[in-house]
Structure 1
Amino acid sequence: MGWSWGFGLVALVGIAILVYVVIRLLSKNGGSDPSSTSTSTQPDLTSARKILDERFARGEVTAEQYRERIRVLGDGR
């Protein structure tokens, strides 16, 4: 009779682990949107632009280099 509470506790922990694993698997997949994984592998052009702007402001790149790199990033300004 002393073991009955132990089996209930083990079952509860097992269910909690199962729920945790299912949630982790679904969150890694990004839900039902398959395009979310393909966009995360592409470089973030806005952050690249911010870095370039900061480097230009600090004087690490010349105006000519800045314009060329903006053109390469596809901004076209």
Structure 2
Amino acid sequence: MQWGPGGPGPGGHGGGPFWIFGVVWLVLIAALIGTVIYALLRKTRRPSATESARSILAERYARGELSGEEYRERLSELS
């Protein structure tokens, strides 16, 4: 059975090493899908309670609501 002018296979390529290109495309598509899933999961990750508390403390310190000593004292209590 002859599929193409040069032998078996679409277009008459006869197989050979051209199957590697299909594998490369599959790997690239899988890597792209994995990257998208990883990025979406990283975005939806919620910070822990300690991370939230540290962030709030840093904001209050930056606004001047806490002195440096108060900030360090409260931060050490979180650790």
TM-score (norm 1): 0.45
User: Which structure would you say has the larger Rg?
Assistant: 2
TM-score (norm 2): 0.44
